[in-house]
């Protein structure tokens, strides 16, 4: 896959946002989302600023892009992020239908500055009964009623 000068420009903007975040009390991560050659969203990590553990740069950029475009489907968009997405952000990118992801630093680089996601990758591999946070089934039959309602709904918006 060919990397263009435009790709480098978008990545530099993600890195710039990460630098600004560090200067203003946020985490060292930045991200931009591009559609049709234009940046439609740019954000940095604001976990500690917003007291929100989901406020990673990629998540914030996805929220901005969806709001701007008026859709939950970001097909046709590319993410440029200053660091390889964590499991949460990677999942969100798949749910948002992002077409392509470019990253600067990798997860080992993040681990070297005490941002380690490997425990999550390892936790996902474990059987539920052996995970560090108990995950306990409860009221399955009652919960199934909601899924039945969804399955039978004729005017639902699929996603």
Q: Is 92 exposed, middle or buried (0-12, 13-18, 19+ CB in 10 A)?
A: buried
Residue 26 token pair: 């946020």
- CA dist., res. 85 & res. 152, Å (int): 36
Smallest CA-to-CA distance from 103 within 31, 21, 28 is with: 31
The DSSP 8-state label assigned to residue 97 in this structure reads T
Is residue 142 flagged as an active site residue? no
- CA dist., res. 82 & res. 43, Å (int): 11
Smallest CA-to-CA distance from 78 within 50, 42, 123 is with: 42
- CA dist., res. 44 & res. 27, Å (int): 8
Catalytic residue among 9, 38, 58, 145: 58
Residues recognised as catalytic? 58
């Amino acid at each position: 896959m060919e990397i263009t000068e435009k790709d480098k420009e978008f990545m530099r903007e993600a890195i710039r946002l990460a630098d600004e975040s560090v200067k203003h009390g946020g985490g060292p991560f930045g991200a931009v989302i591009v559609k049709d050659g234009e940046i439609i969203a740019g954000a940095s990590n604001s976990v500690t600023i917003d007291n929100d553990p989901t406020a990673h740069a990629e998540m914030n950029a996805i929220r901005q892009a969806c709001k701007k475009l008026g859709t939950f489907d970001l097909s046709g968009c590319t993410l440029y992020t200053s660091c390889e997405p964590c499991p949460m952000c990677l999942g969100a990118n798949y749910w948002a239908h992002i077409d392509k992801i470019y990253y600067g630093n990798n997860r080992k680089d993040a681990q070297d500055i005490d941002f380690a996601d490997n425990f999550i990758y390892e936790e996902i591999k474990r059987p539920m009964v052996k995970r560090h946070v108990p995950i306990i089934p409860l009221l399955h039959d009652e919960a199934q009623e909601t899924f039945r309602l969804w399955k039978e709904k004729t005017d639902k918006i699929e996603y």
